[in-house]
Amino acid sequence: EAGVAQSPRYKIIEKRQSVAFWCNPISGHATLYWYQQILGQGPKLLIQFQNNGVVDDSQLPKDRFSAERLKGVDSTLKIQPAKLEDSAVYLCASSLSTRSETQYFGPGTRLLVL
Amino acid sequence: GEDVEQSLFLSVREGDSSVINCTYTDSSSTYLYWYKQEPGAGLQLLTYIFSNMDMKQDQRLTVLLNKKDKHLSLRIADTQTGDSAIYFCAGRYNQGGKLIFGQGTELSVKP
């Protein structure tokens, strides 16, 4: 079974530029999560989707971050414009449903904002 | 609010047991997890325990849950150099299933 796929693996941009990350969850998984992991900290949930609907985006900085999952499968997370403090690893995870006890994580996208 | 805390570092000798500790504030957690993160890699689920259990054993891993003290621990028996990594404790909350992570414990295993 293929795992959660993410691209790109690494990205370096300058502040005020835009960047987009892509995630393809495990086939059949209805729930998709985006987490932000700042260096030295644990991951923090940014947004959660159930199919193509948003379940929780309470921690998403909506003035600069946006995410979509239009067809309920893969998802993109965008930052526009980026700030220095957005430097982090962006992890995508998926699970069968919101009731599932197991979330499977992708390898992450490492973003450096200069 | 929801909070999970861990000690930051642990150093052990190869062959010894490692015990990584975690405390959490929200007693409504339904599941509690241990994830492993190696340098440059994503999160690997090691094991998890349902909140109505006290203990779970899985090969070299033993999880202990003390609900009264809101304390979770992970014991790794016969620790190997390949166990060197950052270990995250996380709690799962009923609303939507999001995970709340601790800040991670860096385990260093010396030969």
Residue A73's φ and ψ, nearest 5 degrees, are: -120, -95
The helix/strand count (H/E) of chain A reads as 0, 11
% of chain B surpassing 90 pLDDT: 72
pLDDT in tens, B8-27: 999 999 999 999 999 988 77
Contact A43 B4 (CB under 8 A): no
pLDDT in tens, A21-45: 999 999 999 999 999 999 989 999 9
What residues contact B63, with CB distance under 8 A and at least 6 apart?
A: B32, B34, B47, B48, B49, B55, B56, B57, B72, B73, B74, B75
Contact A41 B103 (CB under 8 A): yes
Confidence of residue B95 (pLDDT cuts 50, 70, 90): low
Closest partner residue to B98 (CB to CB) among A40, A41, A56 is A56
pLDDT in tens, B25-69: 877 777 899 999 998 888 999 999 998 889 999 999 999 999 889
Contact A107 B42 (CB under 8 A): yes
Peptide bond just before A43 cis, omega within 30 deg:
no
Which secondary-structure segment (H or E) carries B107?
strand B105-110
**The A75-79 sheet, strands edge to edge:** A5-7, A19-24, A75-79, A65-68
Name the residue among B15, B43, B6, B49 with its Cα closest to residue A108. Answer: B43
